[in-house]
Structures are given as C-alpha cells and as structure tokens.
C-alpha cells in the first residue's frame, strides 16, 4: 500500500454524517498532504459533499453502502449487518489491507463489537481497550484507558493496558518514557483491589519497558499534569471520563451564567474575554477528539458523534500518526519484552 496513510472513513457515522466527516478529511489533508481516503456510505450523498473539495476528491475513493448503523442499534444487531453497512465495510477495508486505519463517529458499542470480531486481538492481548486523550494543566494531554470496553479487568488486563497506553503515548504525545499510573482510591501501596496491587507490583519491575511506572493516582488528580498515562478498568474509566466532561460543562455554564447576571458582570466578561476564550479552547472536546481501540490487529479510531470539522480532522490526525509511527509494532515489541523477562525469571528459579 505504500507509506502514505490511507484512512477508511465511515462517512455516514456521527450526528452530521458526510458533511462533517468530509469537511474534517479536507481539513486534515490541508495539513498533511500525503493522506489518502476511502469513504464508505451512500455514494450519491457523499459525492455531493465531495464535489465541494476538489483537492480531497483527487485522493479519495468512494465505496457505496446502502445500510447505516444507527445510534440506537445494539452491537449484536450491528454484527449481523457488518458486510452491508458503511461502518462494517470500513473495518473490513482495514482487515483486507486496503486501508491502514479507519475512523467512525458512529455507534461506539457497534464499532467495538464489529472491530473486535473482524480484526481480533493482537497476540499477547486478552482484551482491547478504549483509550482517549484528556486535557491537563501540564505540558501535554494525558492518555487514559480503558474508557468503557471492559467493565471488569484482571491483573494481566491492567498490565496489558499499561503497555498499550504507554506505546500510544509515545506515538501521539511524542514522549520517550511516559509516566504511567493506576487509578485507585488512594496513593498508598496497601490500598485498592488485589488486581490493582498485583498489577502495580508487575509494572514496578518492568523498568525495561518504554515507560516509568509511578504507582497510584486518585480521580481528583487526573488533570494536574503529573502523569502521562492513567490505567483503569472500563467501568471506573467511563465514570471518571463522564464526570470530568460533566465538570467541564458545569464550569463553562457557571461562568456563562455569572458573566450575564448583571451589567457589571457583562463588563467584567469583556475585560476577561481573552482568559475565558483560552479556557473554552482548552476544554473544547474537538481539540482532543479521537479515541482509539488499542490491542486489535488493525487501527480503529472513534470520533465523537457530534464532532465538528476540527474534531474530525483531529481524529484523522491521530489515525495517521499511529500509521506513520507503526503503533502496532511498538506494542508487540513491549509485550515480547515482558514475555522474555518472565521466561528468564522462570528459568532462573
């Protein structure tokens, strides 16, 4: 397929369908001219949008699909229609090698189920995990996983998530040795479940990997900027993510209400507008868009369903960077290192 990233896009996924997906693809192409695209969905609708972007049209192919996965479709129902839907066909393109990665803003559960069934998990990975970038007060965003793919996780799942999250952080955040922590109810070594404590013990000894394990962290410290990767089970991770998103909306809504409560407040808003604009930019989910299903034999990126042009472009950028940096190979190398060290330890006994 060559070295230029070829991205399969479920053009019908997301709240705005082809309009947002193609606008985002065009925006991504304007910044990364080596990109190529395969668009899956209703050809007539897609072509009407594509005609607006001649440069994008020159590097894009369209594969027609009559069927679309709805936001309300259950994963089991979606799986049965994998071969006829835009989402399923985009995943199949990755499996067949026609695309390096795929991006969809559609139904998360359906995307996870179809991706896992079609692509299968990598050797050494028991379960895939959903990872995303969260804003912090530090120099860079942080990677957090799992965010909902697995409600219950054992020790090995958590260790594997740490390996995948660290590799992903090295790729998307350009960190040589990211700081990794496990989400817990306290920072003391004696706190937490047996799975958490056992995973921490394994990771403390894994100093040969491209990460620095820094123990436990609590939910109120997610945004402090003193960690690059936070690892947890999907149940806790999803609650933490939704709480953080809700808090961000609460703060912005509270500020909006405060600044419109009186004439004096409105004047204060005009004076402080540069600061509030910076806050709005920092909390805008479109600037951090692009969650990734890590651990599959193929790269799948989930865009927010309501992402705008900028958000879709960011999701595509994440996909392209994983392709260029060969994320899958990095994860496999780290897993092989763990297996080799375990084998050596057993042989020494």
Domains and CATH numbers, the chain: 1-121+295-325 (3.40.718.10), 126-294 (3.40.718.10)
Segment 267-289, tens digit of pLDDT: 665 665 565 555 555 556 667 77
Alpha-carbon span 292 to 175, nearest angstrom: 18
Instruction: Average the pLDDT over 172-196 and give the result.
Output: 90
Mean pLDDT is lowest, of 80-89, 213-222, 258-267, 284-293, for 258-267
Residue 3 confidence (pLDDT): 66
Residue 281 confidence (pLDDT): 55
Alpha-carbon span 327 to 44, nearest angstrom: 35
Record the tokens describing residue 39, joined without a space.
Answer: 């668009």
Mean pLDDT is lowest, of 50-54, 110-114, 253-257, for 253-257
**pLDDT above 80: residue 10:** yes
Contact 82, 88 (CB under 8 A): yes
Q: What is the DSSP string of 43-111?
A: HHHHHHHHTT-HHHHTTEEEEE-SB---TT--HHHHHHTTTTBHHHHHHHHHHHTS-SEEEE-S-HHHH
Residue 285 confidence (pLDDT): 63
Segment 133-158, tens digit of pLDDT: 888 888 888 999 988 888 889 999 99
pTM to 2 decimals? 0.84
CA dist 7 to 36, 89, 105, 323, Å? 6, 13, 14, 9
Alpha-carbon span 224 to 203, nearest angstrom: 22
Alpha-carbon span 331 to 338, nearest angstrom: 11
**pLDDT above 50: residue 320:** yes
The overall average pLDDT reported for the chain is 87
Q: CA angle at residue 179 from 176 to 183, to 5 degrees?
A: 150
Beta strands in 255-295 (DSSP E): 291-294
Alpha-carbon span 326 to 311, nearest angstrom: 23
């Amino acid at each position: 397929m060559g070295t230029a990233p070829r991205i399969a896009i479920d053009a019908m996924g997301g709240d705005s369908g082809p309009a947002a997906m193609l606008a985002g693809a065009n925006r991504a192409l304007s910044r990364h001219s080596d990109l190529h695209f395969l668009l899956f969905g209703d050809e007539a609708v897609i072509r009407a949008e594509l005609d607006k972007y001649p440069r994008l049209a020159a590097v894009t192919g369209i594969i027609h699909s009559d069927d679309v996965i709805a936001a309300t479709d259950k994963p089991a129902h979606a799986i049965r229609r994998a071969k006829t839907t835009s989402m399923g066909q985009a995943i199949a393109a990755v499996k067949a090698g026609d695309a390096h990665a795929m991006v969809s803003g559609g139904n998360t559960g359906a995307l996870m189920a179809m991706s896992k069934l079609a692509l299968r998990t990598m050797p050494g990975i028991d379960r895939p995990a959903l990872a995303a970038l969260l804003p912090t007060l530090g120099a860079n965003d942080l990677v957090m996983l799992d965010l909902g793919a697995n409600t219950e996780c054992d020790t090995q799942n958590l260790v594997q998530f740490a390996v995948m999250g660290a590799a992903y952080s090295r790729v998307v955040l350009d960190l040589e040795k990211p700081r990794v922590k496990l989400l817990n109810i306290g920072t003391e070594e004696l706190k937490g479940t047996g799975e958490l404590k056992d995973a921490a013990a394994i990771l403390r000894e894994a100093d040969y990997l491209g990460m620095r394990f820094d123990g436990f962290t609590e939910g109120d410290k997610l945004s402090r900027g003193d960690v690059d990767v936070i690892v947890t089970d999907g149940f806790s991770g999803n609650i933490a993510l939704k709480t953080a998103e809700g808090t961000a909306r609460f703060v912005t809504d509270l500020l909006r209400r405060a600044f419109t409560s009186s004439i004096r407040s409105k004047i204060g808003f005009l004076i402080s507008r540069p600061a509030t604009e910076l806050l709005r930019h920092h909390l805008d989910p479109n600037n951090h868009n692009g969650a990734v299903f890590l651990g599959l034999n193929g790269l799948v990126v989930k865009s927010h369903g309501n992402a705008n042009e900028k958000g879709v472009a960011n999701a595509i950028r994440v996909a392209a960077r994983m392709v260029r940096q060969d994320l899958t190979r990095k994860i496999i190398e780290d897993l092989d290192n763990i297996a080799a060290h375990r084998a050596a330890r057993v042989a020494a006994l």
